[in-house]
Amino acid sequence: MEKEHKLSGLYQEKHPALRSPASSHFLLRLPVIPSPLEVMHFSKLVVFLVLSASAPTSLSHKQRRVDRRNKIKLAMRGSDTRCLAGTYSATGNAPCTSCAPGTYSKESGQTRCIQARAGYYVPTAGQTTETACKAGTYNSNPGMTGCSTCPPGYMCPNDSLSMPQQCSPGRYSKGGEKECPKCPAGYFNNIHKATDCCQCAAGWFNGNAGNTNCQMCSNQYPYSNPGTPAQNQCTAKPGAWAPSKTCQQGTNGDCPASFPRPSAIPRRHLKAKPKCKVNEKACPIFSSLQVVRYACLDVQSNLESCGDCITYAFDGRPSRTGGRDCSAIPFVNEVSCSGGHCDIRSCQPGYIVSLDGSSCVLAFQL
């Protein structure tokens, strides 16, 4: 061994292989124990050299230079442990959890997920965006996983709608509508949020769609059937229906009534009323506007003739006798007749029993 030297407190030794070819001086070896910082830089340099060596030779010089720069940045950055978009954690780094349905995250490294806005939804976990409700549907609350069908009496004309819009008078909606259709000729309504249209009463007509009222037939031609769509269908010859004195829709949506002319029902078709028990009543059964028979019914408990016999009443509305078909009440689910009154226990989804207990109304109306 040749003579030993010390430099900066580190042990070094001369070696023939480390002799400088340009001088008689000896080159010194690197420190025997490298620092952690030097190890890190050396590792990154190795990654860079490996990536550079694997670069395609067919690329242009400019493109290879750009690729080398990107690889250097990648090597210097090291491993990225940030949570991916669609996931989150308390620190924003791994381990990460998928965003729950109804929430999302659109960027990496998030510490929480974002609730879907009203009018939008996120159907499944791990999503990076929210989806707009389509026209005909809506969503009133944030953080939802789906949209609701536009309810009857309302329309949902646009995407991402957070609240349905009421149908105006002269229009109606059965539900799920992008636009409220107009009442056809021969029909009308004059209320907001209508779910249907009323027929013009007998002796009245309506020649235009979307009308809020009907016109009375003239004194010269006073007769017409319910739902007459044109004035030229009013006649001077009496028909099956007696002309109605009024044709107004009630504030609760009740349609005007039409009644057959008594003389239009031949006497030979009338059936004799049967003798019923003390707690029963002989109620007429109609067919084509004629009484074909009678039935003995307990109107205190009969579901379809609750309170009294039913005559010319539709959609569960009380008839002129006061009787009501409880089973025909719109959107009812469970109902019974008790003491001559319809007792609504529950309504279909999206509806609740009204404050007076007589009908089913939209849940958000109360």
167 and 201: one domain? no
Range of the domain at 89: 80-173
72 and 104: one domain? no
Q: 24 pLDDT band (50/70/90 cuts)?
A: very low
| Separation between Cα atoms, residue 259 and residue 271, nearest integer Å | 19
282 and 305: one domain? yes
Q: Quick one: which H or E segment has residue 44?
A: helix 36-53
| Degrees, nearest 5: CA angle 153-157-129 | 120
317 and 341: one domain? yes
| Separation between Cα atoms, residue 324 and residue 335, nearest integer Å | 12
Structural Rg of the chain based on CA atoms: 42
| Separation between Cα atoms, residue 114 and residue 130, nearest integer Å | 9
126 and 198: one domain? no
Q: 237 pLDDT band (50/70/90 cuts)?
A: confident
68 and 89: one domain? no
Judge whether residue 246 has pLDDT over 50. Answer: yes
Judge whether residue 206 has pLDDT over 50. Answer: yes
189 and 151: one domain? no
Number of domains making up the chain = 4
Q: 69 pLDDT band (50/70/90 cuts)?
A: low
133 and 160: one domain? yes
169 and 88: one domain? yes
115 and 200: one domain? no
Q: 85 pLDDT band (50/70/90 cuts)?
A: very high
117 and 21: one domain? no
Q: Which of 173, 194, 225 is the last residue of a domain?
A: 173
The pLDDT score that the predictor gives to residue 290 is 63
For residues 56-64, average pLDDT: 55
Q: 23 pLDDT band (50/70/90 cuts)?
A: very low
270 and 357: one domain? yes
| Degrees, nearest 5: CA angle 361-252-169 | 95
For residues 122-142, average pLDDT: 96
**pLDDT for 166-204, tens place per residue?**
999 999 999 999 999 999 999 999 999 999 999 999 999
Specify the pTM: 0.53
